[in-house]
Structure 1
Amino acid sequence: MSEQQNSSLDVPLGRIVLVAATAALGGFLFGFDTAVINGAVGAIGERFGVSGFLLGFAVASALIGCAIGAWYAGPVADRLGRIKVMIIAAVLFVVSSIGCAAAFSVWDLSLWRAVGGLGVGAASIIAPAYIAEVSPAGIRGRLGSLQQLAIVSGIFVALLTAYALVAAAGSATATLFGIEAWRLMFLAELIPAVVYGVLAFTIPESPRFLIYRGQRQRALKVLHKYVGGDVERTADEIERSFQGRTERPKLSVLRGPSRRIYPIVWAGLGLAILQQFTGINVIFYYSSVLWQAVGFTEQDSLIITVITSVTNILTTVVAIVLIDKVGRKPLLLVGSIGQFASLAVLAITFATAPVVNGEPLLQGAASPVALIAANLFVVFFGCTWGPIMWVMLGEMFPNKIRAMALAVAGAAQWAANFVVSTTFPALSEAGLGLAYGVYTFFAFVSIFFVIKFIQETKGETLEALSERDG
């Protein structure tokens, strides 16, 4: 079914955007929760007297929770519904925010970070799935990209909050209102977490979930109000797409008649893993420490990270404009090439810099070259792999395996994030040129991965994609 056949957008655009934006608030918390550690990491190391592996573990502990949350979010969403998973995620964010702010050691901080990670993992899976399931095909890419826009906005607000608190207190370890600034960074997450939980009660359940649970009439009302077109025909197609679906989702649903895993599942896993293996989250987790290491002050380093996050927001807006016009695959290919080139410049710049007291010293033109290359990397990521990976994971899998396939791909994405985040301190100690050289290699691999394994999904209904890929 073509984009035009699916819907001429005979439902109000604002209504659809509001529902998608509410679901995408989980992405905002996703971004805030994962980036807030950037401004606090130095203070945490000083406060608890840890460095190296233990500090890296505190940073990455949330990612363990993310992988677990993503793994279970899909099956739980099939049993309880998409909305209930959002509410559960909001509660986890609230608990984590309070726990991290009150932490008395690096170990309980890591525990509360992992609790927040459960919420992040669940939100990262449920938002793209839900948005894809309530969106008309012709604008599904743009609406799905709201997830990434929310993520990068959350990163921006977290970094801006960190900068403002450090500026007000004097440093992340100084007190403000009787509380250490780094603790206030975590406590600030309470506000969006509560808003997310409250608004989740105001949006409709996914029509795909409702039909799967035998609630066709409720699904028809949602389709009529938010998707439009021939809703009876759409409901019939959804019902057909669930034929052969087991009552309780299991990993076995990812295997076809030949007992081999569906190729589309491998493609989703590749997308999820390669998005992380180019090292994007090194920029957002460690950039303030990284720029301090090469000569910038703490406040200047935080300003740079804020500028980088603004760049990420602007490039995501570009992706929203282009994704349903240009298509997913061409943008991914451009992104892979651009990331490869910018990472190669970073790798060469750091590898050739003189080392002073164990740290590379960027002199002369090397400093602005590194800054420009790092921001170009963010530009290419933000326009392409950042939003498109989430959009495609939400739409590329057939209905009957979507929840489980999303769970596996999401868990793999967070596992890859964990690997990159925990290995970066050790890699950087061996040399930043080596670290960025590794990320450059995976960016190079991603070029050929996109060419060979990614199929275009622009403008097709989820049920048409189910027939093609299932």
Structure 2
Amino acid sequence: MHQTPTAPAVPTVGHRNTLRRATWIATLGGFLFGYDTGVINGALPYMQDDLGLTPFTEGLITSSLLFGAAFGALGAGQLADRLGRRRLLIILAGVFLLGAAGTAAAPGVGLMVLARVVLGLAVGGASAVVPMFLAELAPAARRGQVVTRDQLMIVSGQLAAFVCNAVIGNLWGEEGNVWRWMLLVATLPAIALWIGMNFVPESPRWLGSKGRYAQMLTELQRIRSAEDAQAEYEEAKALASGVPTRTGRLKDFAEPWLMRVLLIGMGLSIVQQITGVNAIIYYGTQILADAGFGTEAALTANIANGVVSVGAALLGIWLLGKVGRRPMLMTGLIGTCSTLAIIGVASILLPEGPARGFTVLSMTVLFLAFQQGAVSPVTWLMLSEIFPLRVRGLGIGLSVFVQWMANFAVGFSFPMLMSALGISTTFFIFVALGICAVLFVKRYLPETRGLSLEEVELQLRRA
């Protein structure tokens, strides 16, 4: 029986530099994910007049990207297994560029929705492929820190969107079509991603899944010492022996243990969304304006959300090297529930004005600290870890499809819920859903810290 070797040691400095460069280039996909989802926050108030938006069309424009992202994630999972992680990210960079330019140039609601769907295909594809790619490049001892760089880049992209929105809105907010410039900025990192991915190694594990073992070893030697590359090569090859070198298919999940893993992945995806995080990300400016800030002041105040998200993501990366995935996720969920409950209570008890405004702002900041420092990084990390190699692309694609559909439901319904029920009742709904999420994590989520991807697979097979 094959004995799994211990996790490879951390690469030497030269190999670590190669790995670091590859991961930061790949996570430009995460940066674009963050910018393109966050920019709508500040662009919407200016679109309302220029495009004559109603609560329905406002929700439609916001959620159309999320609808496209769901199918982008689903298709990208299988394409990543067929084409390779690196080649697909190069293609997605082109789709990012096309979608961003299309949204900036859209003359009306119809074409805006279409362009946002195209942009969503790229966002969803990157959300599925980048964490998978990073997990397969990283050594087991550093996988948590490497994969969660994507989360750091997502929130950095959101912060960049908030800053660009505030600068453009405060300087040129009185001019028409100012929102177009907010959207156009996203073309720049798309070009950088397209160029940079041409200099990044392919995933060694994907090459192994296709039976291209010589190339697999060559790529491992670029990002590992010779000894560690050989050990990891032997482990991955032994586990892959006897497994067909083909793209994963839905019928593979007929195996009970794989179906259980798929349901955990889908459940984890829903957990990440039902905290209500994207209500804050997409509609934070309106929430703060409703609490007592003016539009321009709300744009500026919203930068605090972005700054805290980046700081929390950095803290989360550090914590993932120190604590387990399960306790970190449960702590984050309890924190998000508590802060949303306080926002709901404050919206009932405090009159509109500075006290209410700064209470809501401080609680949204604290909410994002728990979400971006614990809930989101653990979610994306574990999705990249729990699926075995032969169905990794498809499994992650299906799970992230569910995540984006839940995101779509939140993004589409939130303006109408706010209009019909008010901020307090809407947030209390998210609190109730968050309690359900805590119970799910406690009951079903495995612990994967410190295990190689092959050891995770063996553990889940035996569960």
Output aligned runs, 1:187-336, within 5 Å.
187-228=184-225, 229-242=227-240, 243-245=242-244, 247-256=246-255, 258=256, 262-336=259-333
Range moving further from structure 2, 56-65 or 214-223: 214-223
Partner of residue 418, structure 1: 408
Please tell me the residue identity of whatever aligns with 2:330. Answer: L
User: Kindly tell me: are residues 8 and 318 of structure 1, through their superposed partners in 2, closer, same or farther at Cα, counting changes over 3 Å?
Assistant: same
C-alpha contact 2:128 2:396 (8 A) present in aligned 1:
yes
Q: Do residues 434 (structure 1) and 434 (structure 2) align?
A: no
Q: Do residues 468 (structure 1) and 459 (structure 2) align?
A: yes
Counterparts of 2:114 and 2:250 in 1: how far apart (Å)?
28
Output aligned runs, 1:39-438, within 5 Å.
39-171=42-174, 174-175=175-176, 180-228=177-225, 229-242=227-240, 243-245=242-244, 247-256=246-255, 258=256, 262-353=259-350, 361-363=351-353, 365-429=355-419, 430-438=421-429
Aligned pairs, how many?
455
Please tell me the residue identity of whatever aligns with 2:162. Answer: L
SS of 1:301's equivalent in the other structure is helix
Partner of residue 446, structure 1: 437
User: Kindly tell me: are residues 161 and 275 of structure 1, through their superposed partners in 2, closer, same or farther at Cα, counting changes over 3 Å?
Assistant: same
Partner of residue 356, structure 1: none
C-alpha contact 1:134 1:227 (8 A) present in aligned 2:
no
Counterparts of 1:106 and 1:209 in 2: how far apart (Å)?
41
Structure 1 stretches of 5 or more lacking a match? 354-360
Q: Give TM-score, length-normalised by structure 1.
A: 0.93
Deviations 1:186-243 (A, max 9, x none): 1111110000010011100000111112211111021122144443342233234334
Counterparts of 2:17 and 2:434 in 1: how far apart (Å)?
37
Counterparts of 1:5 and 1:461 in 2: how far apart (Å)?
6
User: Kindly tell me: are residues 241 and 166 of structure 1, through their superposed partners in 2, closer, same or farther at Cα, counting changes over 3 Å?
Assistant: same
Please tell me the residue identity of whatever aligns with 1:454. Answer: L
Partner of residue 9, structure 1: 11
Deviations 1:263-303 (A, max 9, x none): 22111111111111111011110111121122211111011
C-alpha contact 2:344 2:427 (8 A) present in aligned 1:
yes
Deviation at 1:335, TM superposition (A): 0.5
Q: 1:35 aligns with which of 33, 38, 47?
A: 38
C-alpha contact 2:209 2:245 (8 A) present in aligned 1:
no
Please tell me the residue identity of whatever aligns with 1:160. Answer: V
Counterparts of 2:348 and 2:245 in 1: how far apart (Å)?
53
Partner of residue 358, structure 1: none
Deviation at 1:27, TM superposition (A): 0.2
Please tell me the residue identity of whatever aligns with 2:398. Answer: V
Counterparts of 2:203 and 2:370 in 1: how far apart (Å)?
32
Deviation at 1:15, TM superposition (A): 2.3
Please tell me the residue identity of whatever aligns with 1:416. Answer: A
C-alpha contact 1:162 1:185 (8 A) present in aligned 2:
yes
Counterparts of 2:125 and 2:436 in 1: how far apart (Å)?
29
Please tell me the residue identity of whatever aligns with 2:302. Answer: T
SS of 1:319's equivalent in the other structure is helix
User: Kindly tell me: are residues 310 and 217 of structure 1, through their superposed partners in 2, closer, same or farther at Cα, counting changes over 3 Å?
Assistant: same
Please tell me the residue identity of whatever aligns with 1:129. Answer: M
C-alpha contact 2:247 2:390 (8 A) present in aligned 1:
no
Structure 2 stretches of 5 or more lacking a match? none
Deviation at 1:367, TM superposition (A): 3.1
SS of 2:322's equivalent in the other structure is helix
User: Kindly tell me: are residues 366 and 164 of structure 1, through their superposed partners in 2, closer, same or farther at Cα, counting changes over 3 Å?
Assistant: closer
C-alpha contact 1:398 1:467 (8 A) present in aligned 2:
no
Counterparts of 1:3 and 1:431 in 2: how far apart (Å)?
56
C-alpha contact 1:68 1:118 (8 A) present in aligned 2:
yes
Counterparts of 2:115 and 2:128 in 1: how far apart (Å)?
20
Counterparts of 2:232 and 2:197 in 1: how far apart (Å)?
25
Please tell me the residue identity of whatever aligns with 2:90. Answer: I
Partner of residue 450, structure 2: 459
User: Kindly tell me: are residues 205 and 63 of structure 1, through their superposed partners in 2, closer, same or farther at Cα, counting changes over 3 Å?
Assistant: same
Deviations 1:237-271 (A, max 9, x none): 32343343462321112221x5x752221111111
